Amino acid sequence: MTYLPLTEPQQHWRDTARDVATREVGPRAAATDSERAFPRQSLAALRDAGLWKLRVGAADGGVGADLLTTCLVVEEIAKKCPSTGMCYKMHVEASELIARMPSDAQRQGVLKGIVDGKVFCTVAGGETSGKGDDWVPGMQLSAVEKTPAGYRLDGIRKSYVTSAGEATHYFMLCRVGADAKPNQLTALLVEADRIDWQTLEPWHGLGMRGNNSMPMRFSGLVPEANRIGDEHAGLKYLGAVMMPVVALTYGAAYLGVAAGAYEIACVEAAKRHPSGARRLDNAINQRRMAELSARIEAARALLHVAAAAGDAGQVQAPLPYLQAKVTCSEAAVFVTQELMTMFGGTAFAARLPFERYFRDARAGMIMGLANDDAYQTIFGMLFPEPKK
Ligand SMILES: Cc1cc2nc3c(=O)[nH]c(=O)nc-3n(C[C@H](O)[C@H](O)[C@H](O)COP(=O)(O)OP(=O)(O)OC[C@H]3O[C@@H](n4cnc5c(N)ncnc54)[C@H](O)[C@@H]3O)c2cc1C
């Protein structure tokens, strides 16, 4: 269902995404997962359909898609292949800031590269404070040194970089100077072919297996021209400029996981087995399928309304975006878990793709702003500390 009347461009881009996802992305999804293969061809098909430039403004040669269109597109791709949907979502997220506020040089360079299908971005965000996965409550991003030749990255380790080793550009928040406070972040776009980088270990995730979400290390100089916006102002941009697309595309990707699995369930449950029985003839399954549809539609309705409200300039704080993110990712976990039960041994033995969607869905709980973290933020917005 789509609850809001869609404009002609919104319908066009949703249908374009649905078409390319059905023809090109879906047929490769099982192999992408089982071979842990980066979905290069599927992403190239999205590029050829004009989707890499979705969020670049029309004046710069892009589609200029609004938030609702962006959600519709990401959902369609994730429905057919969550791994491809996530790599694509990360490109959209990573290119958001540069698409919104490029310098003139960036407009002629990297933005044109996105439009021409030569630049594919990702986010090199999360770090641990130590050398490996040693956990600390609250992350402090690495400091880079400012030199006359640019910002020096001295072996910065990023923990989970989707499209690692495949992206041409890495969006990175860092601190400039060791004295910079944890909230004084600076946004850089790091070009893969102008810096030393290495992937540190293979990606063997439970789900999202086609993502290449490996740890990486970066060393070298990033020219000052690759800074987006002002030094130390990254957190402000993250909240005011990036947050809508970051949170909503997480929501859309995990809504796609739920809806993609459910669509397959509708077909499989209606199949008549040699015994003459159908899973849909069972009263428990009838109730289950009805309940799952309600969960999906509730998540979709919130996602679309939050996106449309954002497009209309009616959202002052990211509350509805985060609420949509947690609702959609939890819907994905619930729906796929129930389908694992409903399809029994056939699902467990991976003779139907539900276990793939089930594994992919789990990432939604911990990705981006992990849901527990997002709930803390939501709580903070609902119950702000009184001003002293
Ligand atoms: C498939 C996949 C792809 C990814 N791709 C990228 C990418 O492209 N770029 C990128 O930068 N990162 C990426 N990540 C990282 C992701 O966004 C999270 O940062 C990461 O999964 C969190 O793992 P962690 O071990 O650091 O979690 P932790 O921060 O240790 O969180 C684990 C748990 O601790 C609790 N917790 C932690 N902090 C808080 C808090 N403040 N409030 C309440 N509870 C809290 C929560 O229960 C949380 O689930 C990816 C992760 C996955 C799984």
What are the two backbone dihedrals, phi and then psi, of residue 281, each rounded to the nearest 5 degrees?
-75, -15
Q: Whose CA is nearest to atom 46 of ligand 1?
A: 372
Binding-site residues, ligand 1, Cβ < 6 A: 90, 122-126, 135, 159-162, 205, 208, 211, 213, 363, 366-368, 370, 372-373, 376
Instruction: Report helix, strand and coil shares of the chain as percent, to nearest 5.
Output: 55, 15, 30
The architecture that CATH gives domain 235-382 is: Up-down Bundle (1.20)
Is the pLDDT at 388 greater than 80? The verdict is no
Is the pLDDT at 269 greater than 60? The verdict is yes
The answer for residues whose C-beta is within 8 angstroms of residue 191's C-beta and 6 or more apart is 168, 169, 222, 226
Percent of the chain past pLDDT 70, that is, above it, reads 97
Which of left, alpha, beta for 64 (phi over 0: left; psi -120 to 50: alpha)?
A: left
Choose between 337 and 369: higher pLDDT.
337
- Interval between CA 367 and ligand 1 midpoint (Å): 5
Q: 168-189: b or e for each residue (b if 16 or more CB lie within 10 Å)?
A: bbbbbbbbbeeebeeebbbbbb
pLDDT of residue 387: 82
Q: Whose CA is nearest to atom 23 of ligand 1?
A: 366
Is the pLDDT at 34 greater than 90? The verdict is yes
Rounded to whole angstroms, the Cα distance separating 71 from 359 reads 22
Give the ligand 1 atom nearest the CA of 133: 25
Alpha helices in 21-58 (DSSP H): 26-34, 40-48
| 124-176 tens-digit pLDDT | 998 875 555 666 666 789 999 999 999 999 999 999 999 999 999 999 999 99
* Single-letter residue type at 12: H
Per mean pLDDT, which range of 78-82, 85-89, 128-132, 159-163 is the poorest? 128-132
Give the ligand 1 atom nearest the CA of 363: 53
- Interval between CA 148 and ligand 1 midpoint (Å): 35
Give the ligand 1 atom nearest the CA of 122: 8
Give the ligand 1 atom nearest the CA of 162: 8
- Interval between CA 368 and ligand 1 midpoint (Å): 6
The answer for residues whose C-beta is within 8 angstroms of residue 46's C-beta and 6 or more apart is 17, 20, 24, 25, 52, 77, 84, 88
Of the pLDDT bands very low, low, confident and very high (cuts 50, 70, 90), residue 103 is very high
Q: Whose CA is nearest to atom 27 of ligand 1?
A: 366
pLDDT of residue 368: 84
Instruction: Tell me which CATH code domain 122-231 carries.
Output: 2.40.110.10
Rounded to whole angstroms, the Cα distance separating 186 from 172 reads 8
- Interval between CA 221 and ligand 1 midpoint (Å): 28
Percent of the chain past pLDDT 90, that is, above it, reads 93
pLDDT of residue 137: 65
| 166-215 tens-digit pLDDT | 999 999 999 999 999 999 999 999 999 999 999 999 999 999 999 999 99
Helices (H) and strands (E) in the chain, counts: 15, 8
Alpha helices in 343-388 (DSSP H): 344-348, 354-366, 371-382
Mean pLDDT over all residues of the chain? 95
Is the pLDDT at 267 greater than 80? The verdict is yes
- Interval between CA 36 and ligand 1 midpoint (Å): 21
Q: How distant is the alpha carbon of residue 383 from its chain centre?
A: 28
Q: Where are the domains of the chain?
A: 8-120, 122-231, 235-382
- Interval between CA 129 and ligand 1 midpoint (Å): 14
Rounded to whole angstroms, the Cα distance separating 85 from 77 reads 5
What are the two backbone dihedrals, phi and then psi, of residue 167, each rounded to the nearest 5 degrees?
-70, 150
Q: Whose CA is nearest to atom 50 of ligand 1?
A: 160
Superfamily of domain 8-120: Acyl-CoA dehydrogenase/oxidase, N-terminal domain (1.10.540.10)
For the segment 221-239, the average pLDDT, to the nearest whole number, is: 96
Per DSSP, the three-state class of 188 is: strand
Of the pLDDT bands very low, low, confident and very high (cuts 50, 70, 90), residue 2 is confident
pLDDT of residue 128: 73
* Contact present, 106 and 115 (Cβ < 8 Å): no
- Cross-strand bridge partners of residue 216: 158, 199
